[in-house]
Structure 1
Amino acid sequence: MSASRGRTGGPRSGLNQRTCNSEGHRPVSAPLKICFVALNGYAAIGGRAGTSHIGGAERQTALLARELARRGHMVSLVVLDHGQADGEAIQGVRVFKAYARDAGLPGLRFFSPRLTGLWSALRRASADVYYQRMAEQTTGIVAAFCRRHGKRFFFASASDYDCLPELPRLRKPREAVLYRYGLRRADRVLVQTRHQREMMRTGFGVEAEVLSNAAEDLADRSVVSAPGGALARDAGEASGRLAASGSDRGAAPDARGPEVCEPRLSEEFAVGGTKGLRVLWIGRYTPEKRLEWVFEIAGACSNLTFDIVGDATGGSRYAEDLKARAKRCENVRLLGRVAHEQIGALYRRSDVLLCTSEREGFPNTFLEAWSLGVPVVTTFDPDGVVAEFGLGRVATCVPGVIEALQVTAADGVGRERMRVCCRAYFEREHRVERVVDRFEALLAGTGSAV
């Protein structure tokens, strides 16, 4: 399959060559109609909080959708039915509902209401291009819809797991069959890293293109964050934090509107009472994240403080064991789940972001940290960028992580240098505006990723 195998053979009518406006974005001569499919994406786009888990795939989809809508495109999103009105508009995006999560009879619900509900929602969206992210059976259904109705289909990977031919996260044979069907019929396959591109080529015989993940610039005090479109304007502390390192954050005006949401962190995350370097870990309590490593590392680094953000998606013995173990570590604090509009404040109070994962894609947490100049110590280095661009330190085992953290703690000059590198790399590669410039060209058929 060609990576640019569009059915039209070129740009769709109305999407002509464009020139940049004063903001650096290409003006749209005729808006593109694009539908994003993210069944768990209702809370991420700004719908009712708590209706669904907001993971990296959902957050990436919401960022792209909101920015394209802001640029004047006709953007829609297909999500699960949480009792919301069908076709409601949220931040310029029309949201259509497919089916309720638990509706239908076991054994039959795949056909009705899931297949029929999703198909109907795709039809109501009436888009020219459909985009779906993450390996699942939905990939095949969306591809079949596009094939039937002559629409273009873009698939995007959400992690390395989507690129493994054994598909370890798809437990039912039907899910794997439908994913493979959709992957091979996508007009364009987008991946997060060059490594994933090679995995797609060798594992599935599919040619993919690299499109960097996007992230909100948390150094911008006027950033809009989901859920609810709250404005996170608490970057004042961070503006001064990197001033000494020569980083230009481009501080936003301090005007405050009626929807301003000031993060109020619990007393558990008060600045005082901590030891040495402050280390932040963010993620789900799942085996591949290897949170248990943190407790072993913390035991050997009594001069450091470790703050853990996240929880298990559902109850599990593994998660309960981790929580019990954390209580025995004096320098480890479990903060639980934190609303996304508070994330910036967490990064600003931290010196290092720690990642202990066995495998990832390109973590959103890395991008958020780098937007504020916070380096990482990580066991996973996507495409080697952490080592290549001086964005932190890389280790592959517990002793290696301990050494990396202690070296970072002792090297204040090195930390400041890494902070400058992090901010520069984020500005160059991952700002929402830059990523959507590239994505917009792909949608128009006038450009390529990497």
Structure 2
Amino acid sequence: MRILSIDFYIPYLLKDENYPIGGWAIELTTWLRALDNAGHEAAVLTWKGALTHVGSNPPITLIETYDPKRGVRIARWFYSFIPKLLAAARAYRPDIIIQGARGLGTAVMAFIADQLGVPFVYRVVSDADVDERYKIGLRQYEQLSYSWARHRAAGFLCQNQYQRDQLAALFPGKPIHVLHNPIAISENATAPLPRAERRYVAWLGVFRYPKNLPLLFRIAQELPDVEFRVAGMLAEAADQPTIDAVNGLSRLQNVKMVGYVRRVDIQSFLSEATMLLCTSRYEGFSNAFLEALAVGTPVVTSRPVDPDLIVLRHALGASAADELALCRSVRAIWDTDANDYNALAQRCQTYVKANHSPTVKASELIVALTPLVAKSNAARLRDHDLPPA
């Protein structure tokens, strides 16, 4: 199967640069590598100059399209961006197109799929994609574009059951699959560090509204004897409450702002933490959860952000019902007996190995996509056999 997607952040991810990378780019990179290893052809459309930027032999297939820095704003979409994306996609001859991260790009890729006569599938990357929160951060024309594209989609790939239930109500009859995120972890991965070698609470993410930095600030204030290390950087056009919370965190004695942590250093940052604290207002299936669990670091999060309640059901940390419970959960795990903690850490790593293998997840993805491609091919054959009007 030939699978095509689009992302303009992956080149920065592959170079491991000091650049705010969203979760979709990380997830998509893992999918693309797994698909390639499984014998499928997968590529991603990206910006002009990306191949030179990344260097020789990138681990995934990058297809250059347009230069996003050139042209007249808005008009360039019509005289440059869309034509070049369409030409590149047509040359690749995909069997199916997958896109994630809501916005104008969703409509563009749905349009291109329609022009090529192949299925368009939307990968849900946040709970906000499937309810009224999809409007957050989008201009009106982007909201309309995204809404139109969802109606054009041949199917959806969800990260959790909440997303599936919401979409099933909106689009009855459309194929909708739940595929939890994959993460690569060696079978002989290093054993989790013991509690005695873990010194802080880790927080990881881009500083923006959904990540709820004000809540992190309040929790850090409530626990002055607990060390917090906050990794990340401000998003473009960050909201004022987020900026204020970051400034407040910077002034707390028990908080260390460590800045952007490169991908090569993520494992070390998380493995030396007692827990990963998530304060997000909403997620979908956070890659950071899997990265923490892979090194035996428990996750402390709120119940609505616990995807399919995996943290709660598999006892992988704490899944708190409200803000007060979240703060108490941080304290409880911080104070956990060393032997109990070490057993918890081992359980976290074992869970990831058993449930999030890229090989298994890629197989599940192909099973979900195959009927859509078969249906599309059958329709094209029928159209081809029709007598001329």
TM-score bracket for the superposition, by shorter chain length = 0.7 to 0.9
**Partner AA of 2:255 in structure 1:** V
| TM-score normalized with structure 1 length | 0.74
Which shows bigger deviation, 333-342 or 101-110?
101-110
Whether 1:326 and 2:249 are equivalent positions in the alignment is: yes
**Partner AA of 2:228 in structure 1:** F
| Counterpart in the other structure of 1:22 | none
Give the C-alpha shift of residue 392 in structure 1.
Answer: 0.9
| Counterpart in the other structure of 1:135 | 102
Q: Pairwise mapping of residues 109-120 of structure 1 onto structure 2 (< 5 A)?
A: 109-120=76-87
The sequence identity of aligned pairs, in percent, is 23
> Where in structure 1 are there 5+ consecutive unaligned residues?
1-31, 222-234, 245-270
Q: Pairwise mapping of residues 181-220 of structure 1 onto structure 2 (< 5 A)?
A: 181-205=148-172, 207-217=175-185
Q: Pairwise mapping of residues 345-364 of structure 1 onto structure 2 (< 5 A)?
A: 345-364=268-287
Q: Is the 8 A contact 1:279 1:305 kept in 2?
A: yes
Aligned match of 1:410 in 311, 321, 335?
Answer: 335
Q: Is the 8 A contact 2:107 2:148 kept in 1?
A: yes
Q: Is the 8 A contact 2:11 2:53 kept in 1?
A: no
Alignment CA distance shift 1:86-1:149 (3 Å): farther
Paired residues, what number? 368
Q: Is the 8 A contact 2:125 2:159 kept in 1?
A: yes
Whether 1:171 and 2:123 are equivalent positions in the alignment is: no
Whether 1:421 and 2:341 are equivalent positions in the alignment is: no
Query: Which whole-Å CA distance do the structure 1 matches of 2:90 and 2:19 have between them?
Result: 23
Query: Which whole-Å CA distance do the structure 1 matches of 2:35 and 2:256 have between them?
Result: 39
| TM-score normalized with structure 2 length | 0.85
Q: Is the 8 A contact 1:356 1:378 kept in 2?
A: yes
| Counterpart in the other structure of 1:285 | 207
Query: Which whole-Å CA distance do the structure 2 matches of 1:69 and 1:88 have between them?
Result: 19
SS class of match (1:327): helix
Query: Which whole-Å CA distance do the structure 2 matches of 1:292 and 1:59 have between them?
Result: 25
SS class of match (1:352): strand
Q: Pairwise mapping of residues 234-249 of structure 1 onto structure 2 (< 5 A)?
A: 238-239=190-191, 241=193
**Partner AA of 2:42 in structure 1:** V
SS class of match (1:124): helix
Question: 1:255-293 CA deviation, whole Å, 9 max, x = no partner?
Answer: xxxxxxxxxxxxxxxx99xxx852100112123212222
Query: Which whole-Å CA distance do the structure 2 matches of 1:87 and 1:302 have between them?
Result: 43
Give the C-alpha shift of residue 73 in structure 1.
Answer: 2.1
Give the C-alpha shift of residue 411 in structure 1.
Answer: 2.1
Whether 1:79 and 2:5 are equivalent positions in the alignment is: no
Alignment CA distance shift 1:369-1:240 (3 Å): closer
Give the C-alpha shift of residue 323 in structure 1.
Answer: 3.4
| Counterpart in the other structure of 1:105 | 72
| Counterpart in the other structure of 1:64 | 31
Q: RMSD between aligned alpha carbons?
A: 2.9
Select the structure that is richer in helix: 2
Aligned match of 1:386 in 298, 311, 316?
Answer: 311
Give the C-alpha shift of residue 354 in structure 1.
Answer: 0.3
Query: Which whole-Å CA distance do the structure 2 matches of 1:149 and 1:83 have between them?
Result: 24
Question: 1:89-127 CA deviation, whole Å, 9 max, x = no partner?
Answer: 744533112222222112412212222122122112222
**Partner AA of 1:421 in structure 2:** R
Give the C-alpha shift of residue 83 in structure 1.
Answer: 5.7
Aligned match of 2:324 in 379, 384, 399?
Answer: 399
Give the C-alpha shift of residue 366 in structure 1.
Answer: 0.4
| Counterpart in the other structure of 2:220 | 298
> Where in structure 2 are there 5+ consecutive unaligned residues?
374-389
Show structure 1 runs of 4+ deviating over 3 A.
48-53, 82-93, 203-207, 315-320, 443-447
Query: Which whole-Å CA distance do the structure 1 matches of 2:282 and 2:120 have between them?
Result: 27
Alignment CA distance shift 1:180-1:88 (3 Å): farther
Question: 1:382-401 CA deviation, whole Å, 9 max, x = no partner?
Answer: 22221111011122444222
Alignment CA distance shift 1:87-1:376 (3 Å): closer
Question: 1:19-78 CA deviation, whole Å, 9 max, x = no partner?
Answer: xxxxxxxxxxxxx2221222333223x2x4549642110111111111212233222210
Give the C-alpha shift of residue 220 in structure 1.
Answer: 6.2
